[in-house]
Amino acid sequence: MSKIHTALQKITAAGEKKAADSRTAASVKSAIRSEKEHRQSTPLQYKQQIEVNVALLAENGITVSGDHARELRDEMRRIKWPVLANAFGDQSKEIERSNVVMVASATSGEGKTFTAVNLAMSIAAEKDFDVLLVDGDIAKSHASELFGLTEYAGVTDYLSGEVPHIMDVIVGTDVPGLSLLPAGRADEHASELIASNRMSGLVTDLSELVPNTVVLFDSSPILQTNESQVLSRNVGQVLLVVAASKTPQPAVKEAVSLLGPDVIVNAIFNGMKSSFGKKYRLGGYYGYHYQH
Ligand SMILES: Nc1ncnc2c1ncn2[C@@H]1O[C@H](COP(=O)(O)OP(=O)(O)O)[C@@H](O)[C@H]1O
Ligand SMILES: [Mg+2]
């Protein structure tokens, strides 16, 4: 873990000065307050609404209990505030689609879906911010599965033109502040669909849907699929999950080099020790602005 950490620190040393500042909750909230006063926020009218099955999330290891739960909540807070600061704080004006955040990783099994769902819950719990969790991993659609949405129309159906309005496929939930956009039908042309102009339009539309809402994409592995590289060109921020003991350093470097040139990249070290199956934790959050 320390090896990768050191390596990333090295490759990002140049960009460190521009690192997103990790503001406190209070300062981010005060930065958005005036904007919020100006904008009338109309709640979204969902055509479909589900109840989140907490037991299913727990069964799949997404929600945890005991001491680990508190640890995880704290870790999610540490990840959340820099993301919210980039999305809505002063520096957001310099970032296009700053509120659109993609959870990415070089390879599979590094904790993208775990992080995306827990982070979404953590943001939803904030009174001032909402979150739309988008399943951008069309091939696996794990996030959709976790919420029982595999049979629902979603991203691919909208991109292929079968569903005309995006609000037809966004699903409301009983968790205040949390809405979901399922992956939709697996489509052999998924990568082309995600690379299409319609995708770029979709991301822009989603980013403008409601003020103070983070659009959080779960995604497919950068080194194993083409879609995520393309998606990274449309989002404002990337949260790069690095399974500290698993991902070789060259893979991390290569993954970073394939991301969009202007996107803000923050790395999260997921210190999961899968071989023991017990002690998982998200390692220290280390924010930086990567410049190619
Ligand atoms: N920090 C963590 N704590 C507990 N479980 C984790 C953690 N990170 C990942 N996992 C578990 O490891 C497995 C792989 O993670 P997942 O999020 O599905 O990876 P990815 O989406 O990158 O393929 C899942 O079973 C997930 O619940
Ligand atoms: Mg996943």
Query: Tens of pLDDT along 64-88?
Result: 878 788 888 889 999 999 999 999 9
CATH number at residue 17: 3.40.50.300
Q: Is position 17 within any domain?
A: yes
Ligand 2 center to residue 37 CA distance, Å? Answer: 37
What six digits make up the tokens of 164? 């005309």
Q: Is position 37 within any domain?
A: no
Task: Out of 94-103, 107-116, 149-158, 191-200, pick the least confident.
Answer: 191-200
Q: Is 191 in the pocket of ligand 1 (CB under 6 A)?
A: no
Q: What pLDDT, on a 0 to 100 scale, did the predictor assign at position 278?
A: 42
Q: What pLDDT, on a 0 to 100 scale, did the predictor assign at position 35?
A: 54
Q: Is 112 in the pocket of ligand 1 (CB under 6 A)?
A: yes
**Considering only CA atoms, which residue is closest to atom 11 of ligand 1?**
111
List the one residue out of 100, 278, 89 whose CA is nearest residue 202: 100
Q: Is position 139 within any domain?
A: yes
Angle at 92 between CA 90 and CA 98, to 5 degrees: 160
Q: Is position 149 within any domain?
A: yes
The ligand that comes nearest to the alpha carbon of residue 271 is 1
Q: What pLDDT, on a 0 to 100 scale, did the predictor assign at position 125?
A: 95
- Where are the alpha helices (H) located in 66-196, listed in sequence order? 67-88, 112-124, 142-146, 155-159, 190-195
Residue 66 falls in which region: left (phi positive, over 0), alpha (psi -120 to 50) or beta = left
Q: Is position 223 within any domain?
A: yes
What six digits make up the tokens of 270? 């997921």
What six digits make up the tokens of 97? 């689609």
Cβ atoms of 112 and 105 closer than 8 Å: yes
Q: What pLDDT, on a 0 to 100 scale, did the predictor assign at position 225?
A: 87
Per-residue pLDDT reduced to its tens digit, 110-163: 999 999 999 999 999 999 999 999 999 998 999 999 999 999 999 999 999 999
Q: How far apart are alpha carbons 201 and 32 in whole angstroms?
A: 25
**Above 60 in pLDDT, residue 2?**
no
Q: Is 271 in the pocket of ligand 1 (CB under 6 A)?
A: no
Q: Is position 31 within any domain?
A: no
To test ligand 1's pocket by mutation, which of 113, 122, 138, 246 has the most ligand atoms within 8 angstroms of CB? 113
Measure Cα distances from 227 to 86, 180, 230, 280, 292 in Å: 24, 20, 5, 28, 20
User: By percentage, how much of the chain surpasses pLDDT 70?
Assistant: 80
* Residue 1 or 83, more confident: 83
To test ligand 1's pocket by mutation, which of 73, 114, 133 has the most ligand atoms within 8 angstroms of CB? 114
Q: Is 228 in the pocket of ligand 1 (CB under 6 A)?
A: no
Q: Is 105 in the pocket of ligand 1 (CB under 6 A)?
A: yes
Domain that holds residue 190: 2-25+45-270
Q: What pLDDT, on a 0 to 100 scale, did the predictor assign at position 217?
A: 98
The one-character DSSP state at 220 is -
Ligand 2 center to residue 282 CA distance, Å? Answer: 16
Q: Is 118 in the pocket of ligand 1 (CB under 6 A)?
A: no
Cβ atoms of 97 and 207 closer than 8 Å: yes
What is the domain count for the chain?
A: 1
Q: Is 215 in the pocket of ligand 1 (CB under 6 A)?
A: no
* Residue 9 or 85, more confident: 85
Cβ atoms of 67 and 11 closer than 8 Å: no
Q: Is position 288 within any domain?
A: no
pLDDT mean across residues, the chain: 82
Q: Is position 35 within any domain?
A: no
Q: Which atom in ligand 1 lies closest to the alpha carbon of residue 116? A: 17
Residue 135 C-alpha from the chain's centroid: 9
